[in-house]
Amino acid sequence: MCMQSERQTTGMKFFVDTADTNEIRDLAETGLLDGVTTNPSLVAKTGRDFIDVLKEICAIVDGPVSAEVTATEAAAMIAEGNKLAAVAPNVTVKVPLTWDGLKACRALTQAGTPVNVTLCFSANQALLAAKAGATFISPFVGRLDDMGQDGMELIAEIKTIYDNYPAIETEILVASIRHPIHLKQAAMMGADVATLPPDVLRKLASHPLTDKGLAAFLADWQKTGQKIL
């Protein structure tokens, strides 16, 4: 049974970027988690069977769960994508932004399978993914920052292009988020989704003044000698 209650998502959607089912289960209990993204590197860290991990994640969350193909040729990507999509109804097949990946995206989308096109590093690539029918486009902002470029500028460019063409339904899924500022900037730009590592997602609720204020409230309450329960 899914641990999230059914609800209407408002504003930006939050996905967690991990294959750690304990982390996903804990975050899902908050009711703030809209989906999950994984990749071969994240699954490898678990030391578990890929399909078993995918099944467990899909049972925890009711939103999209991105599972990435490992093939590099279009026909093999499509075959792998079909196998992954058969695991659970909320699987989104993840393909790389290559020519073969775009071909696979088109075929899978036409068959009714949601597709997340990943490893996007330019606005032109994002436009191609939208033309291929991608459900999500995943620009990697942190990796661009690592190269001395402004990753968030890419999000702004994609948002402008997509907004110019109302027929585009591809959602901008901001990936490779390294810190809460990336998230805030993405939300201010109107990105549809952000996928965050568990530690970054938890940091969104943290502020030293919150901690300081709570400590003061509790100290004052303790002085009264009262209890609510």
The answer to whether 94 is a known catalytic residue is yes
Annotated catalytic residue within 13, 55, 83, 94: 94
CA-to-CA separations, 84 to 69, 184, 206, 226, in angstroms, rounded: 8, 32, 36, 56
Q: What DSSP assignment string belongs to 6-65? A: P----SSEEEEE---HHHHHHHHTTT---EEE--HHHHHHHTS-HHHHHHHHHHH-SS-E
Four-point Cα dihedral 144, 17, 168, 98, nearest 10: 60
Q: Which residues are catalytic?
A: 94
